């Protein structure tokens, strides 16, 4: 029964996203990500990352769902970044640049973040929002599907944040491994592993000697009732 209600809530989110897209495409209303972009650029002062995050969070809590990691899980992401203190980070799925800002503001001066986004619209919006935050000097956005971009990457990463297409988490992680892009003890931070019932991904990171994995139970972003969770996995290079 719990799975039924979880799937029902997920279906509502997906249906609302489709309705929003169709209505925006037909010109019935403005696409919500454009509304949020304008709010973030106008309501928050330039070089004020927290102001931008607050603006986005307030919209998502009070107006319409946004598929950012959100304020509550976002703090867990920031905690993981601070604990790892990575020199080189990789983000799959950028959306509005919300999580990019949360990562970037916790990196030390010589660290950097590479972010991959498949959507042209989200790519353009995130560039404007991250630039407005004043954190873009350490940020390298790349446009394209992760599976197409990952093989072109040359650097090794200490921290990887997965928040893109859920059915691509596992295949993209395996590609990252095959390409030799993970430093020893690299952290893999995967969002929405409960909301989307990601059993294949969880089975892989939990049952492989290559990873040490732990689960943190959370609520879905911008929800007080819908269960979700994150999986944090540590890569062991020599195993």
Choosing from 32, 117, 192, 228, the catalytic residue is: 192
Question: Mapping DSSP to helix (H, G, I), strand (E, B) and coil, where does residue 110 land?
Answer: coil
φ, ψ at 91 (rounded to 5°): -125, 125
What is the distance between the alpha carbons of residues 98 and 120, in angstroms, rounded to a whole number?
A: 16
Choosing from 71, 158, 191, 228, the catalytic residue is: 191
Residues 233, 205 contacting (CB under 8 angstroms): yes
* Residue 172 annotated to the active site: no
Q: Give the number of C-alpha atoms closer than 13 A to the C-alpha of residue 234, restricted to the C-beta side.
A: 11
What is the distance between the alpha carbons of residues 171 and 147, in angstroms, rounded to a whole number?
A: 8
φ, ψ at 222 (rounded to 5°): 60, 40
Choosing from 57, 91, 166, 172, the catalytic residue is: 166
* Residue 191 annotated to the active site: yes
What is the distance between the alpha carbons of residues 232 and 184, in angstroms, rounded to a whole number?
A: 15
Question: Mapping DSSP to helix (H, G, I), strand (E, B) and coil, where does residue 177 land?
Answer: helix
Choosing from 20, 71, 221, 231, the catalytic residue is: 221
Choosing from 57, 163, 172, 231, the catalytic residue is: 163
* Residue 192 annotated to the active site: yes
Distances (CA, A) of 35 to 24, 50, 56, 123: 11, 18, 10, 16
Q: Which residues are catalytic, by number?
A: 163, 166, 191-192, 221
């Amino acid at each position: 029964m719990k799975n039924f209600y979880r799937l029902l809530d997920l279906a509502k989110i997906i249906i609302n996203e489709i309705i929003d897209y169709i209505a925006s495409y037909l010109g019935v209303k403005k696409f919500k990500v454009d509304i949020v972009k304008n709010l973030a650029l106008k309501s928050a002062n330039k070089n004020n990352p927290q102001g931008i995050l607050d603006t986005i969070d307030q919209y998502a809590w009070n107006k319409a769902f946004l598929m950012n990691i959100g304020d509550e899980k976002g703090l867990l992401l920031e905690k993981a970044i601070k604990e790892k203190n990575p020199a080189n980070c990789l983000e799959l799925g950028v959306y509005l640049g919300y999580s990019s800002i949360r990562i970037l503001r916790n990196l030390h001066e010589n660290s950097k973040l590479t972010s991959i986004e498949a959507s042209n619209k989200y790519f353009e919006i995130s560039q404007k929002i991250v630039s407005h935050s004043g954190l873009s000097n350490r940020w390298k956005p790349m446009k394209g599907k992760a599976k197409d971009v990952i093989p072109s990457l040359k650097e090794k990463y200490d921290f990887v944040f997965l928040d893109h297409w859920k059915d691509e988490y596992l295949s993209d992680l395996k590609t990252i491994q095959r390409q030799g892009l993970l430093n020893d003890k690299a952290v893999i931070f995967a969002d929405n592993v409960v909301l989307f019932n990601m059993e294949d991904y969880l089975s892989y990171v939990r049952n492989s000697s290559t990873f040490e994995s732990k689960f943190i139970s959370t609520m879905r972003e911008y929800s007080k009732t819908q269960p979700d969770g994150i999986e944090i996995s540590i890569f062991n290079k020599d195993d």
